[in-house]
Structure 1
Amino acid sequence: MAEPVRKGPGKVQGRNESQQSDRRVSMFPDRRDPSRFDRRVPGLKGKREAAEKRQAEREEPGRGREAASPGQIPKPGWRDILKRTWAEQSKDNLSLVAAGVAFYAMLALFPAIAALISIYGLLADPAQLQSQIGEISGVLPADARSIIQSQLSKVVSGAGGALSLGAAVGLLLALWSASKGMKGLIQALNISYGEEESRGFLKLNAISLLLTVSGLVFFILALTAVVAMPALLDNLGLPDAVMWTVSIARWPLLALAGMLALAVLYRYAPDRDEPRWRWVSWGSAGATMAWIAASLLFSLYVSQFGNYNETYGTLGAVVILLTWLFLTAYVVLLGAELNAEMERQTRKDTTKGKPTSMGRRGAHAADTLGSKP
């Protein structure tokens, strides 16, 4: 049994009184926070931060515990990040989560195509979009590409330029169905970032619908700017050297557009305080490059070694498309895991706004410090 604690002459503080005292202290956590004096004593904040930095370097030297951006993290810190990322993707069952996202993406794919054609048809001939998508779909396996092209042809043949009441209702239904896939991706990103969904039904659906519409519009603009650029410049009569440079440069530009789209997704989709752009750019860049490599390798495997049609018969093309969607979802979620572990490598506040201490940042990745593997 714990010994009573003496509290002044002749006074004894028992266990119950001690527990009540602890509870009273816990009700006012600011009294234990040294940062509460920063506004009262001039120059104290800088001295305190410098002391914390020196202590961090003594405890874990050269690991980037005080890094203000991912570029300031040294090599030992990056080894910690990569090891924790691999461990976390296994702990979070990322392959199983990606399979669920791929299933919902498969269900949302055709409504998304219908919505894409409807939005594009308000501005131009939908047949142009079909040809533009055909130019960049070479990264997909042939069987998966044929499914998308077939659905595009069906939707384009029935599309009209005028937005009637029936077409408007059809567009809204298509967008709502497509947003279901986005909602599944949002839930998966919460898992990667270690968050629990707390937003209400209306707010969550509004965010998923907004991200879906924004993604479709961004895809149209990026595709038109990158794919149609050579045709537009050809009418200007530019030299062949300039045209060749433009035709080559459009592919890196399309990759940059993909990085930007992923950065927006990583920043706004999870249920947490938004991270600063620098803390989502590295994961989006890595995920984009990994997705391009995975798509090309999978396309090569299917064309050279795959026997999906022999195994699955008429469902072979569907299985190939579903597998490609799984690879896409896995890479996107892995990029989110990388971003989260980068944030957990530093004590600095990685969220937007005024810097705050750990535990008050509204984000699990920013409020916790990753251990050395």
Structure 2
Amino acid sequence: MPAGRAGILAALDLCVASSAVEKQPITESLGGRPRATEGRPHAGNKVKRFVVGLARELVNDNITDVGAMMAYYAILALFPMLVFVVTLALLVLPDDVVLQGLAMATEAMPPATAEVVTTQVVSLMKAAHTGFAIGSAALALWGASRGASSLMGALNAMFNKQETRPWWRRQVIAIAVTFGVAIVVVLALGLLVAGPVAGHWLADRFGLGSMFDTAWGIGRWAGAGLLVMVVWAVLYKFLPDTNAPFRIFTPGAIVGVLLWLGISYGFRLYLGHFNSYEATYGALGGGIIFLTWLWLSNIAILFGAEINDVLADVRRETSPAAAMLAHESEFKAETEHQAAQKAEDRAAQKADDKTAQKAEDRAVRDGR
């Protein structure tokens, strides 16, 4: 047999094996079981993958340090955001509605933080009537968007995404998201005016009496929770460099909002019973409390993002398409291994035949 023939046969074996894998459907696993039942993900496997994956991502992404970094940028962006929102709100709403919305918004905050925010908003409302805040609204929007920019980088880290968008596009997205969030807040404040008016009109028309007051007392807080969910959905959709669809109700957003509310009220209770910040930091105690609350809030946002990211990974890893791809890859690897083994055996046999032929030729020459 010619020397190069073994190599040609080996190459043909590999080509045939690859063609068989690509052109013929694989109906059985390597163990002989139907492929429909091989590798089918179980609920227990999904839960285990999720828990292990979430723990790994929380450690690797170091959300506590990232949350601390975001708190610094958030405190720089918060007051420009207040300037812009108050200016926008006072263009269409009376002062008492803004103050009513402010009282609801600061309900979950620690008292020291609520006092800082309330004092600043009241001061901004006075300045807005003098025309000062209106003139600085555009500058305030730019300053507020810096907080969105810092969150953009943090969410990219949580979703394990490399930023590919150009600088100008990132700035446009940050400004647009900040403007959109401000509009949502103003619309929510408007509902504080329109809601009771429309509700009492409907209650009188259909003879519901005082039932609306009870429903409104519960419904406005449910609406506030929905508002927070919408804001978080906007942040998760547009800030990171992903192609994820826009969904208001995602597991990460729901858990994140509930965690944020729990952390806020828990921190509020802690300060009410064990507040040592003022004794430790003196006049800086209120600022330290505010910064700590921002840090905890950022952790809740990042935790929700981690949940969405890990769930997406689990769905991809346990999907039927992933199982099919894994089995096809396994079958292809096994087939290629068998073909390579045959080629190796053929080459070894060729070498043995050649050695035997040489020995036979040598014996013939010696006999002569």
TM-score by length of 2: 0.73
Distance 1:145 1:56, change over 3 A: farther
Distance 1:348 1:191, change over 3 A: same
1:317 Cα offset (Å): 0.9
Higher relative contact order (CA 8 A, sep 6+): 2
Q: Does 1:300 align with 2:269?
A: yes
Distance 1:56 1:156, change over 3 A: farther
Which letter does structure 1 place at the counterpart of 2:243? D
CA contact (8 A) 1:190 1:196 kept: yes
- For 2:145, the equivalent position in structure 1 comes to 179
Distance 1:56 1:148, change over 3 A: farther
Q: Does 1:211 align with 2:181?
A: no
Q: Does 1:132 align with 2:101?
A: yes
Tell me the distance in 2 between the aligned counterparts of 1:113 and 1:193.
Answer: 29
Tell me the distance in 2 between the aligned counterparts of 1:295 and 1:174.
Answer: 27
CA contact (8 A) 1:259 1:281 kept: no
Q: Does 1:81 align with 2:50?
A: yes
Q: Does 1:282 align with 2:262?
A: no
CA contact (8 A) 2:70 2:295 kept: yes
Tell me the distance in 2 between the aligned counterparts of 1:11 and 1:282.
Answer: 56
Residue by residue, what CA displacement relative to the aligned partner does 1:240-266 show, whole Å, maximum 9, x if unpaired? 122112211221221122112212221
- For 1:330, the equivalent position in structure 2 comes to 299
Tell me the distance in 1 between the aligned counterparts of 2:97 and 2:26.
Answer: 61
1:179 Cα offset (Å): 0.3
CA contact (8 A) 2:93 2:190 kept: no
- For 2:167, the equivalent position in structure 1 comes to 201
Tell me the distance in 2 between the aligned counterparts of 1:325 and 1:182.
Answer: 14
Higher helix share: 2
CA contact (8 A) 1:101 1:329 kept: yes
Tell me the distance in 2 between the aligned counterparts of 1:323 and 1:224.
Answer: 31
1:82 Cα offset (Å): 2.7
Tell me the distance in 2 between the aligned counterparts of 1:50 and 1:250.
Answer: 57
CA contact (8 A) 1:115 1:174 kept: yes
1:223 Cα offset (Å): 3.5
Question: Which stretch has the larger CA shift, 248-257 or 183-192?
Answer: 248-257
1:348 Cα offset (Å): 7.7
Distance 1:167 1:109, change over 3 A: closer
Which letter does structure 1 place at the counterpart of 2:76? L
- For 2:121, the equivalent position in structure 1 comes to 152
Corresponding residue to 1:9 among 5, 8, 17: 5
CA contact (8 A) 1:127 1:156 kept: no
1:298 Cα offset (Å): 0.6
CA contact (8 A) 2:73 2:146 kept: yes
CA contact (8 A) 1:135 1:227 kept: no
Q: Does 1:59 align with 2:39?
A: yes
- For 1:249, the equivalent position in structure 2 comes to 219
- For 2:310, the equivalent position in structure 1 comes to 341
CA contact (8 A) 2:148 2:239 kept: no
Tell me the distance in 1 between the aligned counterparts of 2:127 and 2:234.
Answer: 33
Tell me the distance in 2 between the aligned counterparts of 1:232 and 1:316.
Answer: 44
1:349 Cα offset (Å): 11
Question: Which stretch has the larger CA shift, 128-137 or 248-257?
Answer: 128-137
Q: Secondary structure at the match of 1:59?
A: coil
Larger Rg: 2
Distance 1:97 1:144, change over 3 A: same
Distance 1:220 1:75, change over 3 A: farther
5+ long unaligned stretches in structure 2: 12-18, 324-368
Which letter does structure 1 place at the counterpart of 2:41? P
Distance 1:127 1:245, change over 3 A: closer
Distance 1:148 1:167, change over 3 A: closer
Q: Does 1:220 align with 2:189?
A: no
Tell me the distance in 2 between the aligned counterparts of 1:33 and 1:197.
Answer: 37
Which letter does structure 1 place at the counterpart of 2:70? V
Tell me the distance in 2 between the aligned counterparts of 1:82 and 1:322.
Answer: 30
Percent of aligned pairs with the same amino acid: 27
5+ long unaligned stretches in structure 1: 1-5, 13-17, 19-30, 38-43, 63-73, 351-355, 359-373
CA contact (8 A) 2:124 2:133 kept: no
- For 2:287, the equivalent position in structure 1 comes to 318
CA contact (8 A) 1:132 1:227 kept: no
CA contact (8 A) 2:80 2:143 kept: yes
Which letter does structure 2 place at the counterpart of 1:172? A
- For 1:263, the equivalent position in structure 2 comes to 233
Distance 1:329 1:7, change over 3 A: farther
Distance 1:48 1:239, change over 3 A: farther
CA contact (8 A) 1:141 1:298 kept: yes
Residue by residue, what CA displacement relative to the aligned partner does 1:152-194 show, whole Å, maximum 9, x if unpaired? 0110011139xx7x75551110000000011001110001000
Q: Secondary structure at the match of 2:128?
A: coil
1:224 Cα offset (Å): 3.1
**For the aligned residues, what is the CA RMSD?**
3.5
Tell me the distance in 1 between the aligned counterparts of 2:198 and 2:245.
Answer: 38
Residue by residue, what CA displacement relative to the aligned partner does 1:331-365 show, whole Å, maximum 9, x if unpaired? 10110100000000023899xxxxx999xxxxxxx
Q: Secondary structure at the match of 2:300?
A: helix
Which letter does structure 2 place at the counterpart of 1:295? S
Tell me the distance in 2 between the aligned counterparts of 1:337 and 1:151.
Answer: 33
Q: Secondary structure at the match of 2:5?
A: coil
